[in-house]
Amino acid sequence: MVTLTKAEEKIMKLLWKLEKGFIKDIIEELPEPKPPYNSVSTIVRVLVKKEIVGFNKYGGTYEYYPLISKDEYRKGQMSNLLNGYFNNSLSQVVNFFSESKNVKIDEVNEAIKMLEELKNKKNG
């Protein structure tokens, strides 16, 4: 799974939201100050080259669409994170977050519930 730059990820989030669109549609969704057309076009062409975005050609204009879903990308990034920083260990992830002072008790309870459900699924 390819990793995207922040700028590429920003464009992908908009394409996932739009489902398909022209460069002008993407720019319209971006906050002020709007980047130049050529800058957005360059990023989209890089995404096409990375085979993450496809396109339909209509004369001299292109309509772009995602080739992977947001969920597919998220799974790949989480896998990279787990492998790269936590040795693919869920217990290391839990330990990392248990040391955080920003975790709310509601989130801890929800995580415990989810882990119990996962345990039950794995056990049969």
CA dist list (Å): 101 to 93, 104, 108:
15, 8, 12
Are 73 and 81 in contact by the 8 Å Cβ rule? The answer is no
Burial (CB < 10 A; 0-12, 13-18, 19+), residue 47, is buried
Region for residue 19 given its phi and psi (left: phi exceeds 0; alpha: psi -120 to 50; beta: otherwise): left
Q: Where are the domains of the chain?
A: 6-66, 70-123
- pLDDT value of position 91: 86
**pTM for the whole structure:** 0.79
What CATH fold (topology level) applies to the domain 6-66?
Arc Repressor Mutant, subunit A (1.10.10)
- pLDDT value of position 29: 96
- pLDDT value of position 98: 81
Q: Which residues of the chain have pLDDT under 70?
A: none
